Structure 1
Amino acid sequence: MDTLQLMIFLGITGLVALITYFKCRGSVHTGNTNREYFLAGKGLSWIFIAGSLTLTNISTDTLVGLNGAQTSLVALWELTAVVGMLVLAKVLLPIYYRYKCTTTTELLEKRYNNPNIRTTISLMFLLGNLFIYLPILLFTGSLFMTSLFDIQVPQYLIAVIIAVVGGSYAIFGGLRAVAVSDTFNGIGLLIMGLLVTYLSLAAINFDFSGIPADKLTLIGSNDSDIPWHTLLTGMFFIQIFYWGTNQNITQRALAGKSLKEAQKGVYATAIIRLLIVPPVVVIPGIVAFKLFGDIGDLSYGTIVREVLPTWLSGAFAAVMLGTILSTYNSILNASAALYVCDLHEKHINPNVNVRRISVIISILMVLISLVVLPMYMNAQGIMALMQQLNGLLSMPILSAFITGLLFRNIDGRSIVIAVLFGIGLYALFTWVWTPLHYIHLMFITLCLSVTFALTINKMLFNQKAEFIGLSLLNKEKTETAGES
């Protein structure tokens, strides 16, 4: 960068930090330290919920990973996400609010009346964050920044800077600081992302000729990354897990002023996801294929460097750094919430100083993610790799939620056993025997995990499960109408 670009970069980055500081400094504290630190005092409006949800989900792992596939098929991840958001808003949020949950796993404890299931699932979420989400985000973020500006420093050093700065928001500001900074950075991301998409199209004169048909279709063949028939099995359940039960995402919706405010935030996120995000994560990668060939995960950084005017590169760098920091600090804050609420207070000290222990655990997680990072430095096709690794935890965990919400008279121990069974089954599918596409195998893992839980519940613990469907949701609607 030249001096002007650097000044713009530092100016925008500093301005967001300053606005976040003043916005959070005057906030009213509830006195409930868990809810204040991890749920922003239950005071987020729908605007901040939508902003935080959008930017927590869209970061360099998305922009680099999806554009790196250099095919329009990956838009299906974004389009099907709308289903996951609708399930969160219409089905799961009313139940979370009824049970007054700080973490999604708290619902499992209350449904099964068993703290061990909450502990088990929290540990799995934490392991996923430490060994999948955080290091992959550092990898894609540092890769993007080095490829965009051709920075002549080790990629690992850029990752360290991202980890330290991103961790600061989560450590010192809690969820309120995360949500506020997310919203302002999110506005910049959408504007700059759309600008890059338009300039990419202009670079090829809006002409897609010469690009193979399989790069432009939304109907994947059997040997493509996303075969069309995966939409009939695991794709939608992946989205339900991610948007509806994953603490990293759902925590923002749990922090709303009210249930209706939270639902409005999720609906706004769905509209953004449906109308704006797909072209941003697809078109630059396809254009990069036409201009530069099969360059994989280098696509987005390369196309941005080529099409974006030099005077805008500082602003774009600031926005992109904001997205990286946003997702990183969001995962850290959610991980701290899981540890403090589900593990430390439950099994070590119920009267812990929330802020102090959160700072300590967040620093430890930053260090661990940096230690794990080298494992991903030479990975190819990072988005597909991340989805496959997610399958180890996502479907077994989702089976615990599905069983707990659709059935009653379930012994919590059967769920713990079934979740461990699901992890082992998917590990078998991934590394030993892979008869089908991994998205099909995720669906099979989900179905067999639920079946295994019901079977163990009956045979080992002598309890017959009773199917109740969505009666929990109906009860919530009845109670809400009575209060009105």
Structure 2
Amino acid sequence: MTSQTIQIGVFLFVTILIGLLTYLHCRGKGDRKSNQNKEYFLAGGGLAWYFVAGSITLTNLSTDQLVGMNGNQMALLALWELSAVVGLIVLAKVFLPVYYRYECTTTTELLEMRYNNKHIRAIISLLFFLGSALIFCPAVIYSGSLFMKNMFNVEIPLMTIAAAFAIVGAMYAVFGGLRAVAVSDTYSGVLLLAMAILVVFLALNAIDYDFSGIPQERLTLIGDNDSPIPWHTLLTGMIFIQMFYWGTNQVITQRAMAAPNIGEAQKGVFAAAGIRLLIVPAIIVIPGIVSYKLYGDIGDAAYGTIVFDLLPDWLRGIFAAAMAAAVLTTFNSNLNSATALYVCDVHESYINDNPNVPVLSGFVTILITVLSLILVQVYAQAESIINLIQQLYGLLSMPILSVFILGLVFKNVHAHAGIFSVIFGVALYALLSFEGSPIHAPFGLHFIHLMFITLISCVSLSLLLNWLVYKQVPVFTLAALKGPEPS
């Protein structure tokens, strides 16, 4: 029996086992006829804290993280994960209590209640939808396919592997809803974290824990002006990036909003923060650094190559199954959340207020899946997949966050002022950050600084328009953090 046959056999066995365990756990649970939206998109409010923690962890931790961050082959990328702990704490202590008090199904539902305007909810939902469909879904399918191709060292075309991931992921999202997604996330997450930790120790052992010969700029956590994360960006845009991603992003918050109560949800988020602090930084940078010493600067191929070299045949199969599960769960999590945004915030508001949720969700899922496969070739041209994702998502993140900030800490802000500032913010960030623009990277500022400038500009413009155009004086208040105001 060849080593490749062993790997594939173990891979298929573990993959099928995860699917079977998920089916057995979810079988017979929920009643979609009584409340389709809550059951399909919030698992009927029945996720225990460990499923919340597991789903949040694995929704974020996938091949775009493991492959992309290790592909930078430097310790500095750990700062994304360390700062994410702050974002999770903000989610647990600030955003989640608000979402639960307002009984939201989507994060954007909060905007409709705060601005008393369904259009701002729909516009922000569409931006989130486009972020999942055009950025995260194709990126995770591409990076997962690249990893599998490198790890198994096969000649199968990248698009064939990508199509297999997309089809299976879409089936999870269509037939299981959030409950199946979250449960499979957790089972897969335990396996993935265990295997990723093993890879860290094997990598360190391969170089006898000796980092000599590796350039200092690849080992430091204090980035200079030319590094992917200059130290001073931690003082401006980084915290707001994390606040947006963990606090307002439907893909993440949907898991925490699916717990039976706020206490269970917060427990799950804090558990996810603990994993993020104690485990994730090591697994997303150490293998990449070691691969630099072993193979040189090989970019996004680093993680798949070192795993292929260090793991025995049967462990490669288990690790491949864990990585495949990570790809599938991140992909289907984005599918489920994007579908929730369209169904709840757009379709039910403007087209049909009582659709067949599973059927409509199936059509939307198929659309996103096809679009993701089309865009895989675009992401294959990227020099660094993780840096491209962060830069692209900047188009949406700060303009969207500005609307949430205004809605939560101000009263008497006109919805149209917020909508206009979002459109302005997307255009401004594109002009500031993309090459070819006449104002590209003014003064050589890093894109994280540019995100901070975009956020401040959006908030300021909204307040100015509110005062000059709509003749409304905004009132600073933290009342929204205490619950809905009486009608």
Interval of TM-score (by shorter of Structure 1 and Structure 2): over 0.9
Answer yes or no: is 1:467 the counterpart of 2:476. Answer: yes
Answer yes or no: is 1:427 the counterpart of 2:405. Answer: no
| Aligned pair partner of 2:346 in 327, 330, 343 | 343
| Aligned pair partner of 1:450 in 435, 446, 459 | 459
User: Structure 2 counterpart of 1:310, which letter?
Assistant: D
CA–CA separation in structure 2 for the residues paired with 1:260 and 1:331: 25
Deviations 1:287-308 (A, max 9, x none): 0000000000000001101111
> Match for residue 234 of structure 2?
231
> Match for residue 482 of structure 1?
none
- State the shift of 1:472 in Å: 2.7
- State the shift of 1:357 in Å: 0.2
> Match for residue 199 of structure 1?
202
Deviations 1:205-249 (A, max 9, x none): 000011111111100011111000000000010011000001111
User: Structure 2 counterpart of 1:67, which letter?
Assistant: N
| Aligned pair partner of 2:122 in 119, 124, 130 | 119
> Match for residue 215 of structure 1?
218
> Match for residue 132 of structure 1?
135
CA–CA separation in structure 2 for the residues paired with 1:276 and 1:225: 22
CA–CA separation in structure 2 for the residues paired with 1:448 and 1:248: 26
> Match for residue 248 of structure 1?
251
CA–CA separation in structure 1 for the residues paired with 2:179 and 2:13: 22
- Helix, strand or coil: the match of 1:48? helix
- Helix, strand or coil: the match of 2:210? coil
User: Structure 2 counterpart of 1:362, which letter?
Assistant: T
| Aligned pair partner of 1:365 in 330, 349, 368 | 368
User: Structure 2 counterpart of 1:456, which letter?
Assistant: L
> Match for residue 142 of structure 1?
145
- State the shift of 1:475 in Å: 5.1
CA–CA separation in structure 2 for the residues paired with 1:356 and 1:26: 19
Tell which deviates more after alignment, 302-311 or 87-96.
302-311
TM-score by length of structure 1 reads: 0.97
CA–CA separation in structure 1 for the residues paired with 2:227 and 2:414: 41
- What is the Cα-based RMSD across aligned positions, in Å? 1.3
> Match for residue 12 of structure 2?
10
CA–CA separation in structure 1 for the residues paired with 2:148 and 2:113: 44
- Helix, strand or coil: the match of 1:223? coil
User: Structure 1 counterpart of 2:298, which letter?
Assistant: I
After superposition, where does 1:319-358 map in structure 2 within 5 Å? 319-358=322-361
CA–CA separation in structure 2 for the residues paired with 1:308 and 1:238: 35
Confirm or deny: 8 A CA contact 2:420 2:462 kept in the other structure. yes
TM-score by length of structure 2 reads: 0.96
- Helix, strand or coil: the match of 2:352? coil
CA–CA separation in structure 2 for the residues paired with 1:38 and 1:205: 48
CA–CA separation in structure 2 for the residues paired with 1:94 and 1:295: 45
> Match for residue 269 of structure 2?
266
Unpaired runs of at least 5, structure 1: 480-484
- State the shift of 1:368 in Å: 1.0
Unpaired runs of at least 5, structure 2: none
- Helix, strand or coil: the match of 1:39? helix
Confirm or deny: 8 A CA contact 2:58 2:326 kept in the other structure. yes
CA–CA separation in structure 2 for the residues paired with 1:45 and 1:413: 39
User: Structure 2 counterpart of 1:6, which letter?
Assistant: I
> Match for residue 173 of structure 1?
176
> Match for residue 100 of structure 1?
103
Confirm or deny: 8 A CA contact 2:398 2:455 kept in the other structure. yes
> Match for residue 27 of structure 2?
25
CA–CA separation in structure 2 for the residues paired with 1:384 and 1:8: 33
CA–CA separation in structure 2 for the residues paired with 1:332 and 1:7: 28
- State the shift of 1:3 in Å: 3.2
CA–CA separation in structure 1 for the residues paired with 2:247 and 2:13: 36
| Aligned pair partner of 1:163 in 162, 166, 169 | 166
Deviations 1:370-398 (A, max 9, x none): 11221111211111111010100000000
Confirm or deny: 8 A CA contact 2:150 2:301 kept in the other structure. yes
- State the shift of 1:161 in Å: 0.5
